[in-house]
Amino acid sequence: MKVIASPQIAHCHVNIINNNQDFWCSAVYVANALNLRGSLWNTIESLVVGINRPWILMGDFNIVRNNEEKVGGGSFFTFQIQKHSMRVYRQLGQKMISCKLGKALVNALWVAEFQGLEATILPPGISDHCPVAVILEEPLDFGLKPFKIFNT
């Protein structure tokens, strides 16, 4: 497994053994200080060049995407999403938070290979940030439960 890590991003290649799929996954926690955010986007830009497989970039971006998420929404963030040919992934859960900082961004290859999946925004734990989760496998369906009669 190849791993790249910095203070704002952890990036690795993931192999799913049981179905022979693979993808790139990047987890981010973007700095609050605006002057530190540029280095993250420079790192992402250098990663984009070498990625030719499905890729998910998720975590706390500490910025909103548009005015629907919060007044004064981030045109810079929308620009970065478009610049790197990413898109915001379908998200479930935690819709009533004051501003949506947690996101999952994916490339077109991810959308093609993992069509039925969605990102879930989980409730905040010990911090005020909401974790983002993507479940890669559907729960196993064992079919109907057998009918039993208990004669007592």
Phi, psi (deg, nearest 5) at residue 59: 145, -155
Other C-beta atoms within 10 Å of 150: how many? 4
Check residue 69 and give its pLDDT: 46
Q: What is the mean pLDDT of the chain?
A: 73
CATH 3.60.10.10 fits 3-134, yes or no: yes
Task: Please tell me whether the overall predicted TM-score, pTM, comes out greater than 0.75 for this model.
Answer: no
Sequence-distant (≥ 6) Cβ neighbours of residue 80 within 8 angstroms: 41, 44
Q: Give me the pLDDT at residue 152, please.
A: 60
Average pLDDT over residues 86-112: 67
Domain ranges (residues) in the chain: 3-134
